[in-house]
Amino acid sequence: GNGRASAVRLAQEGAQVLGVDLDKARLEETLSHHAEIAPYLCDLTDSAAVLKMAKHCLDVYGRIDVLVNNVGGSAPGGPVEMDEATWDKQLAYNAKTVFLACKHVLPIMERQGGGAIVNVASTSGLRWTGSAQVAYAASKAGVIQLSRVLAVQYAAKGIRVNCVVPGQLHTPMVEARLASQRAGGDVGKLLEQRQRRIPLGFAGDGRDTAAAIAFLASDEARFVTGTEIVVDGGMTARCD
C-alpha cells in the first residue's frame, strides 16, 4: 500500500528509514522489499508508545529529518448507521495517530533546527467519493487542516508540513476491505466502478503516493509548506 511504497521509495533514495507498523507480518513483508529499512512495532494510537518510538529513532539515528504519517482505514456509514464506538475508533486511527506523532516528533525537529512532515490524508476528506463513510471523511479532512495549522505555527522554526491526498488507488486495502463493503467482494467490479470516476481512466497505486511523499520530504520542496498534493488522476476536479 501507500506506506510500504513510501518507505521503500525513501530508502531507495538514500534515506535511513524506521518503518513502523502494528502488524509484524506486514512489517516483515515490507522489509522483504528493502532490507535496509529498520523495523519497529508500535500502536500509534498510544501516546506513550509513540513517544518511545520517537526516542528510539533519535537514539539510533541521532535526528529525525522526515516524519511521514500514513495510518488510515475506513468504515462505512453515516451518523445514523454508525455506532459511537466505530466513530471513536476511526477518529483515533485516522487523526489521533497523526496528532500523537507530530506531538512527540515536533520538539525533536525544533531542537535540531528543522524538518519535514508529510501527512497522508484522502480525497474523502475533500469531497464525496462514492459512499457514506462519515468518520473516515471527517478524520481525513481534519488531517488536512491540522497540517495547515502546523505549517504556519512551525514555519519560522524551519519545519515544513504538507499533505498528500491520495484518491481512488489500487492498494491492498481495496482488495481486503473496500471490495467486500461496496462490491460484494468483487475486486474487478470495484475497480471498474472507481475508474469510471477518474478522468485519466486508470487507478494509480502506492507508487504514485510515494512519489509525492518523496518530493515533499526532499529539499526540492524547500519552499513548499501548508499545502496538499492531490494524487487522484483528476477525480476531484470533476463536478459530476
- Work out the pLDDT band at 195, boundaries 50, 70, 90: confident
Cα-to-chain-centroid distance, residue 165: 8
**pTM, 2 dp:** 0.93
- Work out the pLDDT band at 189, boundaries 50, 70, 90: confident
Give the lowest-confidence range in 6-10, 14-18, 178-182.
Answer: 178-182
Judged on CB neighbours under 10 Å (0-12, 13-18, 19+), 89 is middle
Q: For 136-188, what is each residue's pLDDT tens digit?
A: 999 999 999 999 999 999 999 999 999 999 998 887 766 666 656 666 667 77
Query: Is the per-residue pLDDT at 209 higher than 70?
Result: yes
The residue from 40, 61, 93, 136 that is catalytic is 136
Q: What pLDDT score was predicted for residue 131? A: 87
Cell numbers that stand for 120 in this block: 497522508
Cα 4 to Cα 28, 39, 81, 143, 153: the distances in Å are 11, 12, 32, 20, 30
Burial letters for 44-76: b for 16+ Cβ neighbours within 10 Å, e otherwise?
A: bbeeebbeebbeebeeeeeebebbbbbbbebbb
Query: Is the per-residue pLDDT at 211 higher than 90?
Result: yes
Mean pLDDT of the chain, nearest integer: 94
| Mean pLDDT to the nearest integer, 16-40 | 95
Catalytic site includes residue 136: yes
List, in order of start, the domains of the chain with CATH numbers. Answer: 63-235 (3.40.50.720)
Q: Give the C-alpha separation, 31 to 36, whole Å.
A: 7
Query: Under a CB-based contact definition with an 8 Å cutoff, are residues 54 and 108 in contact?
Result: yes
Q: What pLDDT score was predicted for residue 203? A: 87
Cell numbers that stand for 163 in this block: 499533505
Q: Give the C-alpha separation, 57 to 38, whole Å.
A: 10
Q: For 83-130, what is each residue's pLDDT tens digit?
A: 999 999 999 999 999 999 999 999 999 999 999 999 999 999 999 988
Beta bridge partners of 9: none
Q: What percent of the chain has pLDDT over 70?
A: 95
Q: Give the C-alpha separation, 46 to 20, whole Å.
A: 13
Q: What pLDDT score was predicted for residue 30? A: 93
Q: For 53-95, what is each residue's pLDDT tens digit?
A: 999 999 999 999 999 999 999 999 999 999 999 999 999 999 9
